[in-house]
Chains A and B, each alone.
Chain A
């Protein structure tokens, strides 16, 4: 069995030395090269850019105000003929009222907390979550694992509804990843998923098919109250 010491020594020797250096200074990542969307972009323009780019990668964005959020969610549930949903409620506005509205429309809410294997979710039609961040540059949403948001909600059910508050939208991928520098490994969420579209494949003759393993449609409700 190869030990860490043997393994690293072999690499050091290939690099022509006996020991690894004690520090290294990585090249800088200059903004003018790596950034594709200006950090100074106006907030309204940023929302517009996010919505446009999210639609370009095949997600279905819609701008709503907080007061209309529950109705908009119910509309999507009706459209996809949902019978069951699972919801991560903690960060959603007026979650209790929202759940009552959903149940009032005859859709069952399936609990998911404590279900490591996500077994219940295989029979759920829709997963509803908020997001940790959204990226205007690429039209992506970011869903991190946590005590109140399961990884499976944005993956296992055939439809995903994500509630994106406009304050969560950042300009560039760099604006999400740069602040992660210095986070202690054990304090990072175990799973951070940057989601850029519905589940896609083009493996059979290059024909694009949605929903091969993950959701076939991702609905984004962009909460646009200033």
Chain B
């Protein structure tokens, strides 16, 4: 038994595994594919604009003028927690243990998966129901479970569809934002033997019936965690569908994978984040279910798991923590608002980022988790327009960090020699007035020569070629502002 038993890996448009492409990752090849795909363009654009508009309107209505100050408060609480993460994690471990949970420690994804499989084997687990968790995507848990012969079923509707259709999530909150109902109907017909229907309600009910049977018979429930509360040892799981509650209630054993950055000091602090999370994600006051779990079922309680295991996962997070310029990135509560707000995400779509986390937050944390040299395109996949910062409920300064990453790329020589040389020449030009003026005049003359009679360049040479393939460049005016200003003063 060797590689022939590999679980099939979802492939993307460039023929590479969707979330785990070979490194260094070339973003361009995949992006071209997605930009050319009109259906995906229309779909993702519509969905993200809808969510983005919903967030803006709803947060303005609820928070009014204090919105900015509430975001600031949330940012300060999370920053304080990260600055004292060793203290709060220690407190959490003590309290979770006192409540009867078992806490485990994983430095990387492989160790986390091993801990999970050891528990599953010890408990004789056959069927696992799983609620949505980004960190299990990071550790690539499901293929490992299946390889070990444990049937593992995603139960979030979107994730379930992606799983049976051998696809991967492309958005933190709405994982199948890139897929339409026809794909769902075909997958249900092919894999579940269901009758073909494009009715959303009927499709949802097919999934409900199928997954109910899994909930009824599963002996292990897997989940992530949105928050961990240091003061009480509780974990908090936010879902709309109720699968998160099912996975943490029906099976005998519950294992949660949680990144170390999910800590908040107390229930009171939790309130601030709950008030922000769902409003920024989906314009709801709270997610339908906010399940706060403190240890396994008590002796007197009727239902609930007999064992609760919490696997605390580092997997590159201390790399981010140790650099004070980047530590702020760990404030993220995974609301997905920056993805919806980002013009680059809207065009390129989530899979173009070649990693578990897409969008602006992904462009920052993926190179930090997995090495700048492995993801050199990501810090450049941003127009630095600042929409992500405006959208962020915990005020992560994503544009600043993207600029810092670009600087690091030059320092660490990740950026190619030609690029570095061009930046240097550019810097000389910008620093010296004479060069700047003459280069500008030369550029103006050349562009005017290339322009057609209608005053536009329809195809420019060199670096401007790509730009003019899509649109026309207006020719510069006969004289520039400086010349005009000088003449005006004289006159």
Residues of A within 8 A of B (CB): 1-4, 6-8, 10-17, 19-24, 26-27, 29-30, 32-34, 36, 53, 57, 112-119, 122, 137-140, 145-147, 150-152, 155, 173-174, 177-178, 180-186, 188-207, 209, 211-215
Contact between chains at A185 and B294 (CB < 8 Å): yes
Closest to B291 in A: A193
In the bound complex, do residue B295 and residue A186 qualify as a contact, i.e. CB atoms below 8 Å apart?
yes
Which of B299-327 touch A at CB < 8 Å?
A: 300-304, 306, 312, 314, 318-319, 321-322
Whether the pair A190, B301 counts as a contact (CB closer than 8 A) is yes
What 1/0 mask marks residues of chain B from 285 to 300 whose CB sits below 8 Å from any chain A CB?
1111111111111101
Asked whether, in the complex, the Cβ of B303 is within 8 Å of the Cβ of A152, the reply is: yes
| B 77-114 binary contact with A (CB < 8 Å = 1; else 0) | 10011011111111001011011100101110001000
Choose among B88, B106, B240 the residue with the greatest number of A CB atoms under 10 Å from its CB.
B240
Q: Are A147 and B288 in contact (CB under 8 A)?
A: no
Provide the residues of chain B in CB contact with A193, threshold 8 Å: 245, 289-292
Closest chain B CB from A205 CB (angstroms): 5
Q: Chain A contacts of B69 at CB under 8 A?
A: 33
CB A200 to nearest CB in B, in angstroms, measures: 5
The CA of A191 and the CA of B233, in the complex, are separated in Å by: 12
A213–B62 CA distance with the chains assembled, in angstroms: 29
Stretch at the interface among B145-153, B198-206, B334-342, B362-370: B198-206
Q: Nearest Cβ distance between residue B58 and chain A, in whole angstroms?
A: 11
- Evaluate contact between A29 and B269: CB separation under 8 angstroms: yes
B268 and A212 form a contact (CB under 8 A): no
Given the interface pairs A178-B268, A190-B297, A204-B203, the reply to whether A213 lies near B246 with Cβ below 8 Å is yes
B250 on the interface (CB 8 Å rule)? yes
Q: Which residues of A contact B401 (CB under 8 A)?
A: none
Query: Which label, helix, strand, loop or mixed, suits the secondary structure of the A interface?
Result: loop
A84 to B354, CA, bound (A): 50
Q: Which of A188, A196, A207 contacts B232 (CB 8 A)?
A: A188
A7-B105, A33-B73, A117-B250 given as contacts; is B50 within 8 A of A206 (CB)? Answer: yes
CB-CB under 8 A from A183, the residues of chain B are: 232
Q: Which residues of B are interface residues toward A (Cβ below 8 A)?
A: 47, 50, 62-63, 66, 69-70, 73, 76-77, 80-81, 83-90, 93, 95-96, 98-100, 103, 105-107, 111, 155-158, 161, 174-176, 180-181, 184, 200-201, 203-204, 207-208, 211-212, 215-216, 231-234, 240-243, 245-246, 248-250, 252, 260, 265-272, 274-275, 282, 284-298, 300-304, 306, 312, 314, 318-319, 321-322
Which of A34, A116, A122, A213 is close to B241, meaning CB atoms less than 8 Å apart?
A: A213
Q: Contacts A146-B301, A196-B290, A199-B241 given; indicate if A186 touches B80 (C-beta within 8 A).
A: no
Asked if A194 and B294 sit within 8 Å, CB to CB, the answer is no
CA distance A190 to B89 in the complex (A): 20
B155 contacts A213, CB within 8 Å?
yes
Give the shortest distance, in Å, between A158 (CB) and chain B (any CB): 10
Enumerate chain B residues within 8 angstroms of A117, measured Cβ to Cβ: 216, 250, 252, 303
In this complex, which of B272, B288, B294, B295 has the most chain A Cβ atoms within 10 angstroms of its Cβ?
B288
| Across-interface contacts of B207 in A (CB, < 8 A) | 212
> B81 contacts A26, CB within 8 Å?
yes
List the 8 shortest-distance A-B pairs measured between CB atoms, nearest first.
A214-B242, A20-B86, A203-B158, A185-B99, A14-B322, A147-B300, A213-B242, A7-B105
Most B C-beta atoms less than 10 A away, residue of A6, A119, A194, A215: A194
Q: Which residues does chain B contribute within 8 Å of A203, judged by CB atoms?
A: 156-158, 161, 174-176
Q: Contact check: which of A7, A20, A115, A204 meets B302 at CB < 8 Å?
A: A115
Q: A34, B272: Cβ atoms under 8 Å?
A: yes
